[in-house]
Structure 1
């Protein structure tokens, strides 16, 4: 139902090419420039933070997502002639209670895990809290991090999920492709340089988690809440010199990072628990059909 809604609007193939070509082209140009000029991205980030401060750097980096999100939604509305509601959910209206349930669940979990690790391994953290910088960080994060995560969700779990779904006419191909591409884009994060390629299991696994939530729930509300809480709480709670979000957070992780079996714990244990909670609360059923079934064009709807 969620994917099949796209059949009701302007869904010809070329319309689904323009935005991905522009976005992935921009990402590719950025990567090529870094490689050709042999730039040290981490060193550039460090110099920017020293010069401007971490809050300003974060603000400037997040501001581009406001443009990305506005561009995507305007394209959907005026080129696909599709209401944003149908890009968000198959329900009669957006269910914000779902968003807030997922947001609260992830926020409480992340805060709990961070507090537990802080008291279990106090040598790995320093208290980084300063009132004024933190308040600026709070304002920037509350307003712009949900914009960043919303763009990623609308682009991957909304736009590409529906676009690939109407082309492939099934559910599993868009699930796999959007999850792998979503995870693959995180390859350019500084965490990969520091921890190694094994961290890609986490990123791609997160893509699958969000995609499964969207398909099983026939809407993006849970994925939007989940993603927003994960990035927002992380930015406010803990920073490190080797992460994508270097902020004036409450704590700073000063431990020597490493990645091993702990990378698999979220994917193999924590994410299935989250899915179980959502499945029980929202009475998900017919998993095989919703994840692997055909996407059928509604009757009396023609390809445009």
Structure 2
């Protein structure tokens, strides 16, 4: 029902294009404070260097994080308003195919991946201590913890609501199947990460990770008939990373506990999550929530209700 319920609302595709354009424009405007802060600190010349990594290291890390995440804090509630105005759709129906949002699912996914990712990071610190430097400072870390806890869920939720929610449903109404929305949103999600400093350092091979992660989150959404699991996973992924480990060449440069000082290179560890960890997680979620009929849920057609034409005619007047 999660994708099919799009027909209960105004679903002409031009609405999705217009709302997406508004979000893009507002997000760009909300980056102005970040740019002005950099110019104030270093002068306008730094903006023409083309070195994204250098730009991210200009400001104090907590201020940098706040200004980076500010656009997400503005655009998430804006998206909810625009969906209501342009589609007459509720937040609940944008989130899930269930009658109400299942917060237990969000919490379970968050705790599961926060635990696993935290353990994996600490194991790597133990195995390769030469690659890490203790970066812990109590007061800056506490500020980071507060900022991260408040703002990172807004950042990850906006990405989830746009890609696994809004566009997933929009493409479903356009293509009338499940596989096209899954692939389209995964490719767009991954492609937007092409501007991350990690890509500059590691090369375009890292795009396999970004696109694969989008695919994994899309599968979670389709199989579970809602976004709750992807919402919890994404928050855990970004928050735990921001708190535990940073590096000079990553998008999140924070007052984390550890700093990765190794030479950046594209190794097998980048692909392990996509081809090993994520499939195992899918099996765990499948067992817990009794998923079945994978082929139909991931590739099947979506039948447009017979009454949808009448609904569209009514909404157009």
Which secondary structure state, in structure 2, belongs to the residue aligned with residue 14 of structure 1? helix
Q: Is the 8 A contact 1:198 1:263 kept in 2?
A: no
Match of 1:226 among 216, 228, 233: 233
How many Å separate the matches in 2 of 1:234 and 1:28?
25
Q: Is the 8 A contact 1:198 1:260 kept in 2?
A: no
How many Å separate the matches in 1 of 2:121 and 2:51?
30
Question: Relative to 1, partners in 2 of residues 1:28 and 1:59: Cα closer, same or farther, differing over 3 Å?
Answer: closer
Match of 1:44 among 42, 55, 59: 55
For normalisation by structure 1, the TM-score amounts to: 0.93
Aligned residue in 1 for 2:72:
65
Match of 1:150 among 150, 157, 171: 157
Match of 2:105 among 86, 98, 105: 98
Q: Is the 8 A contact 2:57 2:253 kept in 1?
A: no
Deviation at 1:37, TM superposition (A): 4.4
Deviation at 1:285, TM superposition (A): 0.4
Aligned residue in 2 for 1:185:
192
Which secondary structure state, in structure 2, belongs to the residue aligned with residue 11 of structure 1? coil
Question: Relative to 1, partners in 2 of residues 1:38 and 1:26: Cα closer, same or farther, differing over 3 Å?
Answer: farther
Q: Is the 8 A contact 2:53 2:250 kept in 1?
A: no
In structure 2, the gaps of 5 or more residues are 32-44, 313-317
For normalisation by structure 2, the TM-score amounts to: 0.89
Aligned residue in 1 for 2:16:
16
Residues paired across the two proteins, number: 296
How many Å separate the matches in 1 of 2:276 and 2:65?
32
How many Å separate the matches in 2 of 1:108 and 1:82?
35
Aligned residue in 2 for 1:281:
288
How many Å separate the matches in 2 of 1:28 and 1:2?
30
1:133 aligns to 2:143 (yes or no): no
Deviation at 1:264, TM superposition (A): 1.6
Question: Relative to 1, partners in 2 of residues 1:37 and 1:126: Cα closer, same or farther, differing over 3 Å?
Answer: closer
In structure 1, the gaps of 5 or more residues are none
**Which ranges of 4 or more aligned residues in structure 1 deviate by more than 6 Å?**
25-30
Deviation at 1:21, TM superposition (A): 2.8
How many Å separate the matches in 2 of 1:40 and 1:23?
26
How many Å separate the matches in 2 of 1:24 and 1:250?
33
Aligned residue in 2 for 1:115:
122
Deviations along 1:227-267, one digit per CA (max 9) or x if unpaired, are 00000000000000000000000011111111132222111
How many Å separate the matches in 1 of 2:4 and 2:137?
49
Which secondary structure state, in structure 2, belongs to the residue aligned with residue 252 of structure 1? strand
Deviation at 1:283, TM superposition (A): 0.5
Deviation at 1:297, TM superposition (A): 2.2
Aligned residue in 2 for 1:269:
276
